[in-house]
Amino acid sequence: MAAPREFSTAASYPQLVTLNPDERLQCYAGSPWWLAQAMRSGDRLELYELHPGEHQHLQQFDQQLPPGGRRHFGDGPATLLQHLPVATPRLCVLIDPSYEVKSDYLAVAETLKRIADKVRHAVVAIWYPLLAAQRHLELLDAVRASGVRKVLRSELIYGDPEQTRGMYGSGMLVLNPPWQLDQLLAETGEQLATLYSGRSTVEWWVAE
């Protein structure tokens, strides 16, 4: 995915400007950095990485973690399930595996089901890639068949599935999305779709 030459939403995303002072999108941080930016006083952030190389990269991020943030080497979904239900009144989970193993798609759907069964109020965001093999459909079908309710689906498509090598887009599923997140994703998706000459969609994959 090629980055646009300029991004016009700098005022809306001041965090990106701190990484790109000339307002040209050269550096885009990963999910640990973004989650750390959003932490409030009293919040806890538990970061899990199973890939040894990626975990080593995360070590460089330790000094930037705010109080309440911790990094772990291990399987995040498996560890999370061992600690459910949680004592805190709120729980937000981001699951974004590499999907290098084909079984990851169904495993993620099963993890979502187990989280929903144990913590009904949990907000769970699942990222998935759009690839020519269309394996993300296994994830989507499994989530819909699981009985889990109130799941929002958002996708950004910026390439032709038949002509693009690698990812031609990406998607998100969100269980128990916060109020008006569907509107925010629709507005943001339109902006990104314009930048990449693509298209975006937002829909309720499973209604409440």
Which residues are known to be catalytic?
Answer: 96
Task: For residues 189 and 192, give the distance between their C-alpha atoms in angstroms, rounded to a whole number.
Answer: 5
For residue 3, count CB atoms less than 10 angstroms from its CB and return exposed for 0-12, middle for 13-18, buried for 19 or more. middle
Task: Give dist(CA 148, CA 113) in Å, integer.
Answer: 6
Give the amino acid at 45: L
The neighbouring-strand residues paired with 130 are 169
Amino acid letter, residue 108: V
Beta carbons within 10 angstroms of residue 125's beta carbon: 19
Assigned token pair, 112: 């979502």
Any long-range contacts for 66-74 (C-beta under 8 Å, 24+ apart)?
66/36, 66/39, 68/39, 68/42, 68/43, 68/44, 69/36, 69/39, 69/44, 69/45, 70/44, 70/45, 70/46, 71/32, 71/47, 72/46, 72/47, 72/48, 73/48, 73/49, 74/48, 74/49, 74/50
